[in-house]
Amino acid sequence: MAKKTKLFKNYNFTFDKNETKVLITFCKQVLKQLYGNPDHAKQAAIFDSILKKLESGEEEIKLTKNETYVLTASIKENVKFLGEKLKNSSFITKWFYKSVYKQYVNLLEKHFED
């Protein structure tokens, strides 16, 4: 039997307090890196929009398809980078990065994976 695909995807997210904090911090870090470069103005605008929505304090956050895609791709890249960093680092560095890595992985699994 053929696999059923969803016709419409829901881009409304309900994050708990800790997840919201992690995402706000993540967006601020990305914006710090992107603001100086005019080549990334479009991506900076997307993260700025996401940040405003997260800081609004609403219980349910409504993201656009593009915002969801960019945020998911960025978190996946960050998880990949942190995973490599954990493999090739000392005990203290692993201890420092492990909780951040777990938070990003949990976000991906809970909200952004199909």
Q: What is the 3-state secondary structure (H, E, C) of 68-91?
A: HHHHHHHHHHHHHHHHHHHHCCCH
**How does pLDDT run across 26-56, given as a tens digit for each residue?**
999 999 988 877 888 889 999 999 999 999 9
pTM, full prediction: 0.83
User: Is residue 7 pLDDT above 60, yes or no?
Assistant: no
Q: What is the CA radius of gyration of the chain?
A: 16
Predicted pLDDT at 80: 93
114 confidence band (pLDDT: 50, 70, 90): low
Q: From CA 98, how far away is CA 17, in angstroms rounded? A: 20
User: Is residue 8 pLDDT above 80, yes or no?
Assistant: no
User: Is residue 25 pLDDT above 90, yes or no?
Assistant: yes
**How does pLDDT run across 68-113, given as a tens digit for each residue?**
999 999 999 999 999 998 888 888 888 888 888 999 999 999 888 7
9 confidence band (pLDDT: 50, 70, 90): confident
DSSP 37: -
Domain ranges of the chain: 15-112
User: Is residue 2 pLDDT above 90, yes or no?
Assistant: no
